[in-house]
């Protein structure tokens, strides 16, 4: 019923709902209404059963290959291989399951009800009931600071304003009027006779009748939109799925080829099948799923320590390819705390520092000569501070957390209290007795209080819209005395008002009346002008630098807000999000655009203002149609649909609503926009590391494949047994690959352009690297087998030599895999000590199976002579040496090109 309530008179609403504004509903009416409307709560998505979450971990194509290899090995009696492969598969599955479950539980700890109780009239009595018990027709009483527990048609309003930022994005409280009957086409943000669920009463008192509960509320409607949008696969998931399909094709082709070659040479089908299974084991990087999952899990834990909670493991990587960040303004880029920035008093222009409600800041006198810090000691400025402090209903109190401050009441009035406190006005000085007060209303656009001090002297303080206040001023405080207000001076003050407003400041005029100190009642004529104050919801201090880092990283920041266009544009330009040439587009202008037109113009629009949730969704989709990877940040319910539709949705954990946190892939625990840029860097590093160990793993497996294929073509016996191949993959794909996942970000990582979401994880050039490094490994392995088989005629000794050379060569190559650009000496030996520890431990394990008598029969190995040790170490060092020398050559060539370019340009 919310959709039509604003266009219906109060009495008609009450009649339709069979309610009474004095007695409310009866108990029987409440029961009947609940049977029809249900409970006043948002319908949550049914939690996914644990068994289904666990089964989802087995959806990877590479996992299917491993299971198939395990089944074949078991059928052939190779139970050691079967057990080892299945152990890896299960480890991968449980690791992913427990990490995601841990993140979900951490998020659940954040959630709390926005309005747990409500004051309601039932059976003629005022009672406090759980908010979920409300039904349409209930009469609810509200006062300043209360959360609105359902959608209400207001019945009475006493100077009330409602903070609706969580729903509409409007940073300033909205004045409400129960008398209004509005056109049906009135936009949501302008329905001034309604109060919506999850918004907050900033000041005043009100009574309303519940017209919608639960999923029928405006918030419920938005929550319903979330359930109709299916989340897409992340870029990493798409890349791994594509890689898995390629591996399946290669694996089947090579297995079939080797099997046929074996049969053509006269081998038995069992020998041919043994060779084929060996090749399949060599082709599949068994450690890939486990290492990818572990890498993402480690990234999740690092980000949690940096106040970013990621709900799904692949979302960690998605951040690394973000090319657009669409950010809500209120509460995300700004504090959602009004702050006075400028003051004009006694003809002097002051700039005020500090942000938010903390009463800490300085005053700078601004003149044509520049700025200088000052202390407000003159009478003119002190008078303006008293007006700000006394003509006020708000209170500023320390928060529960050290260093935080909260405002009880209207945020605008709270900003004035903070301004007075910054000037040194103490609480004792702010306690004269109120004789009379005249609340703010939209006709007068002013508020006044009449005060009486300890001496019996009365003085009136008034604040309001500059046009109205100045029209009633006959004098002003100037140069520490009261002088007559001239027309020229009035024009100068109005010009100052226009200049402040052009900087997107909300401007209020301050005035007083102190004729003879005996004024019997408030009189808003013949006032003395005391000053102008300009305030704004200021941007967070750390956001500007975060925007700079975004631009350096090739990421486009975009502001999408429900706030006023001028305010949004000013904040965006101050933060560097928008240039003067960038367009500011409103929701009405968006409605006039087709989706194709929006997609064609989206690159030229930096700020979207006065937008509805549907508009935010359109903007996110417009960027995505261009192939960009989009992050959407937000805290309010109005942000939730776009947050879910984005490639990576980011919600605020402190100020964010439950609906938005549930829709998001990542939650910022400190509501700090700068943490998003840190998360992007983390995501890029994670993708880099995944790519590093992927190249490492695939080149290892490619080398093993080439070795096995070459032996088959030359008619040699298989140089490595299946159990040896499995051990090679376990010992080299395990600890070393995991250590590569812990590599810190390379220098210059955040100065790269974002990669495109459709960019293959393995490009042609990287494929060449994999083949080249694999060829090096196959060459040294073949030489080792030739040395043992052709020269010494001992097959077991040849396999042992080949086995050890391949293991040590791969382990040493892990040092070179830390970067495709820098040598491990240039990166620093101890910037990643885990790599050296992993190589050392894995090498000792390999030495152990050769040296320990009980291990030799398992792997069919023999011991080495001293000469063989020298040969195999020389062969093992060859690949890493060649790879590092190639890097140095490329660096020298690159420096020569740079020198030639600079010489040409000079």
Find the distance separating the first CA and the last CA of the chain, reported in whole Å.
Answer: 73
Asked if residue 201 lies in contact with residue 176, where contact means CB atoms within 8 angstroms, the answer is no
Query: What's the CA angle centered on 450, arms 449 and 456, to 5 degrees?
Result: 150
Name the residue among 124, 138, 286, 287 with its Cα closest to residue 208.
138
pLDDT of residue 62: 57
Listed in sequence order, the residues at least 6 apart from 262 whose beta carbon sits closer than 8 Å to its beta carbon are 271, 272, 275, 276, 712
Predicted local distance difference test score (pLDDT) of residue 290 = 62
What 3-state class would DSSP assign to 96?
helix
Residues 6+ apart with CB under 8 A from 145: 200, 201, 408, 409
pLDDT along the chain (906 residues), means of 10: 78 91 92 91 68 72 65 69 68 64 47 58 88 93 82 87 77 84 87 89 86 88 61 61 72 77 73 67 62 71 77 72 87 83 94 90 92 91 93 84 80 92 70 78 84 81 94 93 93 94 90 71 91 91 88 91 84 88 87 92 91 86 91 75 86 68 78 80 84 87 86 83 78 81 83 79 85 94 89 84 95 92 86 91 92 85 88 94 92 64 40
825 vs 820: CA distance, rounded Å: 13
- DSSP structural state of residue 403: T
Cβ atoms 560, 585 nearer than 8 A: no
Residue ranges of the alpha helices (H) in 109-190? Answer: 165-168
Residue reference for tokens 């406190």: 421
DSSP notation for 328-359: -IIIIIB-S--EEEEEEEBTEEEEE---TT--
The C-alpha atoms of residue 415 and residue 534 are separated, in whole angstroms, by 10
Residue by residue, what is the 3-state secondary structure of 218-239?
HHHHHHHHHCCCCCCCCHHHHH
Task: Cite the DSSP H helix spans in 391-505.
Answer: 411-422, 466-471, 487-502
| Residues paired with 447 in a beta bridge | 463
Which residues have CB under 8 Å from 806's CB, separation 6+?
Answer: 703, 704, 707, 720, 728, 777, 780, 781, 784
- Residue 682 to residues 297, 542, 746, 897: CA-CA distances in angstroms? 12, 18, 11, 31
Report how far residue 96's alpha carbon sits from residue 105's, in angstroms, rounded to the nearest whole number.
14
**Positions marked catalytic:** 328
Mode of pairing for the β-strands spanning 666-668 and 308-310: antiparallel
pTM: 0.65
Nearest CA-CA partner of 803 in 861, 735, 734, 852 = 861
Query: In Å, how far from its chain's centre is CA 644?
Result: 11
Number of Cβ within a 10 Å radius of residue 120: 24
How far, in Å, CA of 168 to CA of 639, rounded?
9
- What's the half-sphere exposure (Cβ side, CA atoms, 13 Å) at 35? 5
3-state secondary structure 601-624: HHHHEEEEECCCHHHHHHHHHHHH
- Least Cα distance to 375 among 389, 364, 385 occurs for 364
What pLDDT does 250 receive? 76
CA angle in degrees (0–180, nearest 5) for 674-680-683: 145
- Is-contact 877 816, C-beta < 8 A? no
Q: List the beta bridge partners of residue 902.
A: none
Residue matched to tokens 């690092």: 302
The pLDDT, as a whole number, for residue 107 is: 41
Q: Cα–chain-centroid distance for residue 218?
A: 24
Is 190 in contact with 177 (CB distance < 8 Å)?
no
Distance of CA 549 to the CA centre of its chain: 16
The strand pairing partners of 312, in sequence order, are: none
Q: How many Å apart are CA 424 and CA 412, to the nearest integer? A: 19
61 alpha carbon, distance to own chain's centre: 30
Nearest to 425 by CA among 382, 468, 366: 382
**SS3 for 67?**
helix
Instruction: Give whole-number Cα distances, 554 to 236, 675, 750, in Å.
Output: 20, 17, 8
Helices 287-305 and 61-75 meet at what angle, rounded to 10?
A: 140
Please give the structure tokens belonging to residue 634: 């937000």
State the pairing for strand pair 174-175/324-327. unpaired
Residue that has been written with the tokens 């609706």 in this structure:
164
């Amino acid at each position: 019923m919310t959709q039509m309530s604003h266009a219906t008179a109060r009495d008609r609403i009450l009649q339709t709902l069979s309610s009474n504004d004095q007695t409310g509903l009866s108990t029987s009416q409440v029961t009947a209404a609940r049977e029809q409307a249900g409970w006043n709560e948002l319908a949550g998505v049914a939690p996914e059963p644990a068994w289904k979450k666990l089964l989802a971990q087995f959806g990877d194509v590479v996992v299917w290959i491993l299971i198939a290899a395990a089944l074949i090995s078991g059928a052939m009696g190779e139970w050691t291989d079967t057990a080892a492969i299945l152990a890896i598969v299960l480890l991968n599955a449980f690791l992913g399951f427990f990490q995601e479950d841990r993140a979900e539980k951490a998020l659940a700890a954040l959630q709390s009800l926005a309005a747990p109780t409500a004051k309601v009239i039932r059976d003629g009595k005022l009672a406090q009931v759980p908010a979920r018990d409300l039904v349409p027709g209930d009469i609810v009483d509200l006062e300043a600071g209360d959360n609105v527990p359902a959608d209400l048609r207001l019945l009475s309003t006493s100077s009330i304003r409602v903070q609706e930022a969580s729903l509409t994005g409007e940073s300033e409280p909205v004045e409400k009027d129960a008398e209004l009957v509005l056109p049906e086409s009135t936009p949501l943000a302008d329905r001034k006779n309604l109060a919506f669920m999850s918004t907050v009463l900033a000041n005043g008192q009100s009574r309303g009748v519940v017209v919608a509960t639960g999923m029928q509320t405006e918030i419920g409607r938005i929550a319903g939109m979330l359930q109709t949008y299916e989340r897409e696969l992340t870029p990493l998931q798409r890349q791994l799925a594509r890689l898995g399909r390629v591996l399946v094709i290669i694996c089947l082709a090579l297995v079939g080829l080797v099997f046929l070659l074996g049969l053509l040479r006269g081998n038995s089908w069992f020998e041919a099948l043994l060779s084929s299974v060996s090749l399949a084991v060599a082709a599949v990087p068994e450690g890939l799923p486990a290492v990818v999952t572990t890498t993402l899990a480690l990234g999740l834990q690092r980000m949690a320590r940096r106040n970013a909670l990621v709900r799904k493991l692949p979302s960690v990587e998605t951040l690394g390819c973000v090319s657009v960040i669409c950010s809500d303004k209120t509460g995300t880029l700004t504090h959602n705390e009004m702050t006075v920035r400028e003051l004009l008093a006694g003809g002097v222009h002051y700039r005020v520092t500090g942000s938010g409600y903390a009463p800490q800041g300085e005053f700078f006198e601004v003149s044509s000569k520049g700025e200088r810090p000052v202390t407000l000691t003159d009478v003119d400025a002190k008078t303006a501070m008293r007006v700000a402090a006394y003509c006020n209903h708000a209170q500023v109190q320390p928060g529960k957390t050290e260093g935080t401050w909260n405002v009880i009441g209207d945020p605008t009035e709270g900003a004035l209290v903070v301004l007075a406190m910054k000037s040194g006005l103490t609480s004792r000085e702010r306690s004269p007795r109120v004789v009379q007060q005249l609340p703010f209303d939209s006709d007068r656009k002013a508020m006044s209080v009449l005060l009486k001090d300890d001496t019996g002297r009365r003085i009136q303080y008034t604040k309001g819209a500059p046009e109205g206040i100045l029209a009633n001023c006959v004098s002003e405080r100037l140069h520490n005395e009261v002088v007559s207000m001239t027309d020229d001076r009035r024009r100068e003050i109005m010009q100052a008002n226009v200049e402040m407003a052009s900087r997107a400041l909300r401007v209020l005029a301050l005035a007083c009346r102190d004729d003879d100190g005996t004024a019997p009642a408030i009189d808003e004529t013949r006032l003395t002008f005391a000053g102008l104050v300009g305030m704004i919801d200021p941007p967070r201090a750390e956001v500007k630098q975060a925007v700079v880092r975004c631009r350096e990283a090739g990421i486009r920041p975009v502001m999408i807000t429900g706030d006023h266009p001028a305010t949004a544009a000013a904040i965006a330009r101050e933060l560097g999000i928008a240039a003067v040439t960038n367009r500011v587009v409103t929701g009405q202008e968006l409605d006039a655009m087709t989706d194709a037109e929006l997609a064609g113009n989206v690159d030229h629009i930096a700020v979207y203002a006065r937008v509805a949730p549907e508009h935010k969704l359109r903007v996110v989709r417009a960027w995505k149609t261009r192939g960009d990877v989009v992050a959407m940040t937000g805290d309010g319910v109005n942000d939730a649909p776009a947050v879910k539709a984005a490639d990576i949705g980011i919600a605020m954990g402190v100020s964010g609503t439950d609906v938005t946190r549930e829709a998001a892939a990542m939650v910022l625990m400190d509501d700090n926009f700068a943490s998003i840029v840190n998360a992007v860097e983390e995501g890029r590093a994670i993708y880099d590391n995944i790519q590093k160990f992927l190249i490492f793993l695939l080149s290892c497996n490619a080398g093993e494949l080439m070795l096995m294929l070459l032996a088959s073509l030359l008619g040699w016996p298989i140089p490595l047994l299946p159990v040896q191949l499995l051990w090679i993959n376990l010992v080299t794909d395990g600890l070393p690959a995991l250590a590569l996942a812990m590599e810190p970000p390379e220098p210059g990582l955040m100065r790269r352009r974002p990669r495109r979401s459709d960019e293959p994880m393995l490009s042609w050039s990287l494929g060449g690297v994999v083949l080249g490094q694999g060829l090096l490994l196959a060459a040294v392995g073949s030489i080792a087998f030739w040395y043992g088989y052709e020269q010494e005629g001992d097959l077991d000794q040849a396999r042992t030599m080949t086995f050890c050379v391949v293991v040590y060569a791969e382990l040493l190559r892990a040092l070179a895999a830390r970067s495709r650009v820098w040598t491990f000496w240039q990166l620093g030996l101890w910037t990643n000590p885990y790599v050296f520890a992993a190589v050392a431990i894995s090498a000792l394990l390999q030495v152990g199976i050769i040296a320990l008598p009980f291990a030799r029969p398992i792997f069919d190995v023999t011991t080495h002579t001293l000469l063989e040790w020298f040969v195999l170490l020389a062969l093992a060092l060859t690949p890493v040496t060649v790879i590092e020398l190639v890097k140095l050559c490329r660096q020298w060539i690159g420096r020569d090109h740079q020198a030639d370019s600079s010489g040409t340009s000079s």
